[in-house]
């Protein structure tokens, strides 16, 4: 089977692999590169569990072919904590009990991070809109919304 090269940065570090053409970014990250923080919940673009950030934009890694990401900067939830210190969103998800089974959590955090990167002080409606592509079947949406608002407040206090 013909292999194609892919090269991108993942959470700031250079990655290069040979993969089968047509491999999704989700499978490349999980099976080849070993970052299993994006999850495959539906493989059809419905659940958001595979959400990653590509060049600053939220994308679904299950519908993105890895070879179209050459040269891109990719962020996943596994790369958020710095030196063992949790990102404010991770801290807020812990503090507001915004995780239950945990399967949707990495995707939720990605969607929330893109929101806060562009809109540091979002309204509740903006949070709901930003998370609207991510499904939580334990139906813990309210604490998740609270976590994002809490992280935004923590950020603005740190900035002040």
Partner 1 sequence: MELRKNYFADVRKDDLHEIGQPRPRSDSPGHVTGKTAFFADRSFPGMLHLKMVRSPHHHARIRSIDTSEAEKHPGVAKILTARDVPHNVYTILILIQVGPEDETVLADGKVRWKGEAVVAVLAETERAAQEAAAKVKIDYEVLPAVFDMEEALKPGAPLVNEYHGQNYYLYDSGECRKVRFGDVEAGFASADHILEQSYQSSPIEHAPTETTGCVVAPEGNDRFTCYTNTQAMFFTLDNTSIILQMPGSKLHFVGGTVGGGFGGKVDVIVEPIAILGAKLTGRPVSFVYSREEEMQISSPRAAEKVVIKDGVMKDGRIVARKVTGYTDAGAYSRHSPYGAQKGAGHYPGPYTIPNVWIDTYCVYTNRTPSSAMRGFGVTIGDFALEVQMDKLSRLIGMDPLEFRFINAYRDGDMKAHRQPTEGAALIECMQEASRAANWPVAEKFMAMSSYRKGA
Partner 2 sequence: MALALQTFPTVKDANAALKAAGTRYLGGGTLVVRAANEGDVSVSGLVMSTDPALSAIAAAGGKVRIGASVTMAAIARHPDLGPLAKAARAVGGPAIRNMATVGGNLFAPAPYGDFAVALLALDAAVGTEDGELPIETFLARRDGSRSIVTSVSFTLPKADGFRFLKVSRVKPKGVSVLSIAAVLEQAADGTVSSARIALGCMADRPMRAKAAEKALKGKKLDQNGIAAALAAATEGIAPITDPIASAWYRAEVLPIHLGRLLLA
Q: How far is the CB of 119 from partner 1 (least distance, A)?
A: 21
- Among 33, 54, 80, 144, indicate the residue that binds partner 1 (CB under 8 A): 80
Q: How far is the CB of 17 from partner 1 (least distance, A)?
A: 14
Report the residue from 45, 81, 85, 123 that binds partner 2 according to the rule CB under 8 A: 45
Is position 5 an interface residue for partner 2 (rule: CB under 8 A)?
no
User: Counting Cβ atoms within 10 Å, is residue 78 exposed (0-12), middle (13-18) or buried (19+)?
Assistant: middle
Whether residue 81 contacts residue 123, with contact meaning beta carbons closer than 8 Å, is answered with no
For residue 44, state whether it binds partner 2 (rule: CB under 8 A): yes
Should residue 101 be labelled a site residue for partner 1 when binding is judged by CB under 8 A?
Answer: yes
Nearer to partner 1, 110 or 130 (CB): 110
* Matching residue, tokens 């950030």: 53
- Tell me the residue ranges of DSSP E strands in the chain: 3-10, 13-20, 51-54, 57-60, 73-75
């Amino acid at each position: 089977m013909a292999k194609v090269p892919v090269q991108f940065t993942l959470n700031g570090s250079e990655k290069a692999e040979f993969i089968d053409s047509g491999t999704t970014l989700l499978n490349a990250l999980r099976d080849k590169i070993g970052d299993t923080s994006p999850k495959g919940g539906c493989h059809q673009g419905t659940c958001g569990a595979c959400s990653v950030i590509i060049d600053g934009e939220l994308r679904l890694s299950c519908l993105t072919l890895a070879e179209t990401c050459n040269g891109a900067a990719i962020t996943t939830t596994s790369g958020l904590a710095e030196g063992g210190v949790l990102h404010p969103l991770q801290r807020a998800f812990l503090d507001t009990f915004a995780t239950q089974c945990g399967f949707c959590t990495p995707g939720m955090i990605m969607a929330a991070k893109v929101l806060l990167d562009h809109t540091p002080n979002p309204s509740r409606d903006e949070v709901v809109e930003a998370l609207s592509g991510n499904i939580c079947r334990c139906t813990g949406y309210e604490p998740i919304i609270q976590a994002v608002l809490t992280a935004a407040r923590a950020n603005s206090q740190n900035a002040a």
